[in-house]
Amino acid sequence: MEDNKAQKITGWEYLVFFLGAGAYVPIMIGGWQHPAEINLATYSLWFILCSLIAYSSWKRRYAGWFMPLGWVFGQGMIITTAFLRGGYTFNLGQEEIIVFYGIIITLSLWGTLGQLTGKWDPRILYLGSILADMLSFYPQIKQYLLPHEPATIWLTLGWSIFIIDILVNLLLVEHLPEKLLASRAKPKEILHILEHSLLSIENLFFLTLSLVLMLQ
């Protein structure tokens, strides 16, 4: 089932877009002051993932696709800032390599099935990219579980705006609570609803966890 309202852009969707892109502004300022805070490999990875998720969720007509689109613009600003400023970190660890392979396998599988069946199902791209996105948080969480310098106010502010962005998207764009209540606890319908909001749900969890670990 597709969300027929997904293509109708509302004021809340524009707000979600600008909040998502704007959250990178304080991160960009902090990165200019402390270049080592910018892991270029990680942000480049997120840029690719969010581009794939924005495209596939738009093709699936899912509400909320404006959120990853805003993140793509913000990540582009971070990458540009890193190249202009220099001194950034580029730490492509084993976990990030796994994510890159995840992207390649997802795209290959999507393309192969498209050729065999004549149907280019963006759902495979959507779910595969979200799985890769979940894995992409591991290096960051691992970093903050180890002894680390306190997060700057700019990084903390940026992450806090992300969380607000996701909440607005969940409540006012995707209308997750309303849809769950209307489903009347039908398992298949609930799974379908959760799939629509999977990006928001997983990012709300991982970004909140990352923020908590940053502040310790």
Residue among 22, 28, 20, 7 nearest 70 (CA): 20
101 vs 43, higher pLDDT: 43
pLDDT at 1: 43
Residues 164-208 have pLDDT tens digits of 999 999 999 999 999 888 877 678 888 889 999 999 999 999 999
Share of the chain above pLDDT 90, in %: 37
State the DSSP string of 41-53.
HHHHHHHHHHHHH
- What value does the mean pLDDT take over residues 139-158? 83
Alpha helices in 86-121 (DSSP H): 94-117
pLDDT of res. 91: 63
* pTM metric for this prediction: 0.85
pLDDT at 89: 75
* pLDDT for res 18: 96
DSSP symbol at 36:
G
Please say whether the beta carbons of 143 and 91 come within 8 A: no
Please report, as a single letter, which amino acid is at residue 85. R
pLDDT in tens, 68-122: 999 999 999 999 988 898 877 776 677 777 777 778 788 778 877 776 787 778 8
Q: Has residue 124 got a pLDDT over 80?
A: yes
Task: Tell me the mean pLDDT in the region 54-73.
Answer: 91
Instruction: Quote the pLDDT of residue 138.
Output: 81
